[in-house]
A and B are shown apart, each in its own frame.
Chain A
Amino acid sequence: MADRNNHLASRGGERLYNGIIKENPTLVLILGMCPTLAVTTSAINGIGMGLSTTVVLLLSNTLISMLRKFIPDRVRMPAYIVIVASLVTVVQFLLEAYVPALYEALGIYIPLIVVNCIILGRAEAYASKNPVFPSAMDGLGMGLGFTCSLTILGMIRELLGGGTFLSNGATAVFTIPQSVYTPANIFILAPGAFIVLAFIIAIRNRVIRRNQEKRSRENRKESV
């Protein structure tokens, strides 16, 4: 039993690592580009979109994994869409009714989550073929990976395009004085999103490749 628990825990950890680093949905799988490019004008926006997607992804992966034996293979897509859309709508109702402040902040992102292809992508690629616990962890990992990428992207765009750091619109943690740096509006607009995203992907690829080369060199040495 302890062995089984250990196994489950390590599998969960592997899923988290996979979602955040190895198969990061934004930077590696290049999924969910619409919300990624559209909402990351500030770091706070990125965190908001990322965390609300994480919650839905965790729930949808869990539900779809639970129902994976019941859902017929040939009509799985409409079944997934119905489940995800219902889930998002229920979350939206509950937020609007009982947590209006959070709804006010996340309101515009919630309908966007339904059409986020990460959710359908993970349902199809993972949750439909795996048990509940790893599927839930996969959802959590993918969600957190999405959140991390969006936050970094938002942070860079906000800094270059608005001259602020972690601003919620009215107040910021710090603001670069206009005399030191004049914000370049293009980073707030769509072209800036593409440019910054491309650089982040390039840097991530380079770091990962370096690590792999280092590891394979070490392996070679050991074998000699």
Chain B
Amino acid sequence: MNNSIVKDAMRLFIITLISGIILGFFYDLTKGPIEAQEEKTRTQAYQTVLPDADRFEMAADTAYSSDIEMQMQPFLNRAGYTSDSISGLVIASKAGTYSGVALTVTAHDGYGGDIQFSVGILPDGTISGISILSISETAGLGMRAKTDPSFLSQWTGMKQKSFDLVKTGGDPAAGTVDAISGSTVTSRAFQRGINAALIAFENLQNNDITTAGGVTIG
């Protein structure tokens, strides 16, 4: 009886041990390629929102790189965007000249939790592109923000201080965009998040933020 318990435990131990070794082996094998893949995805996201830039850098001052969220939150809160935060800032340049910023926005007011997306803004305040980094909205409803490009493309090329959401008949050039029908919560999360990015952008321009490569915002 006792013997068989020890035998069972030993066999289970052998199975878990071998599984662990195999997992470790595959983790090690795929670690490099996965990291390279993630890096590529990130650069691709910046490239989609700022197609003209050839270089993307973080700010040299940690207040605007790793601490950007803390730095920006007071301004967002003051404007009433308490459920959005700026979680990343990348400064883009073309041939050494400042050519825009890519702001990572985390909207906490999505229907299915946080939505994270990257907003590319040109030096004159024009939105050059929006790309979703992570989203878990309802498939077939809020998820259309990702699957149907016509929603986010409303902002592309538009220059406004802020955008309002309307049911239909929006005119982005006049500051109104159409909501996704049946997904008001998701649409609102994006609209507010993008407005928050514009507020942050305006604020960034007033500071002399420089990258290690010597590119300055403004």
Residues of A within 8 A of B (CB): 39, 41-42, 45, 67, 70-72, 74-75, 78-79, 82-83, 86, 89-90, 93-94, 96-98, 100, 158, 161-162, 168-170, 185, 188-189
Contact = CB atoms under 8 A, between A and B. Distances in A.
B173 interface: no
B26 A94 contact: yes
B208 interface: no
Interface in B32-74: 33-34, 37, 41
Nearest to B8: A72
17 contacts: A71-B15, A72-B7, A75-B8, A75-B11, A78-B12, A86-B19, A90-B23, A90-B26, A93-B27, A93-B30, A94-B26, A98-B30, A168-B147, A169-B144, A185-B140, A188-B140, A189-B138
B9 to A, nearest CB: 8
B125 to A, nearest CB: 29
Contacts of B140: 41-42, 158, 161-162, 185, 188-189
A71 B16 CA distance: 12
A42 to B, nearest CB: 7
Contact of A188 (B23, B141, B148): B141
Given A45-B139, A93-B26, A170-B147, A82 B16 contact: yes
A169 B146 contact: yes
Contacts of B139: 39, 41-42, 45, 188
B11 A96 contact: no
Contact of B23 (A39, A41, A45, A86): A86
Interface in B119-151: 138-141, 143-144, 146-149
A177 B112 CA distance: 29
B140 to A, nearest CB: 3
A42 B12 CA distance: 41
Interface in B8-32: 8-9, 11-12, 15-16, 19, 22-23, 26-27, 29-30
Nearest to A95: B30
Contacts of B29: 93, 97
B23 A89 contact: yes
Nearest to B139: A41
Contacts of A170: 147-149
Given A41-B140, A42-B140, A170-B148, A79 B34 contact: no
Given A42-B140, A86-B22, A185-B141, A94 B11 contact: no
B182 interface: yes
Contact of A185 (B22, B30, B147, B182): B182
A161 B12 CA distance: 48
Nearest to A84: B19
A89 B149 CA distance: 32
Nearest to A45: B139
Q: In the complex, which of the residues B12, B15, B34 has the most CB atoms of chain A within 10 Å of its own CB atom?
A: B15
Q: Which 7 A-B pairs have the closest CB atoms?
A: A169-B147, A188-B140, A97-B30, A97-B33, A41-B139, A86-B19, A72-B8
B11 A71 contact: yes
A72 B13 CA distance: 11
A82 to B, nearest CB: 5
Contacts of B143: 169
Contacts of B34: 93, 96-97
Nearest to A90: B26
B22 A75 contact: no
A100 B41 CA distance: 10
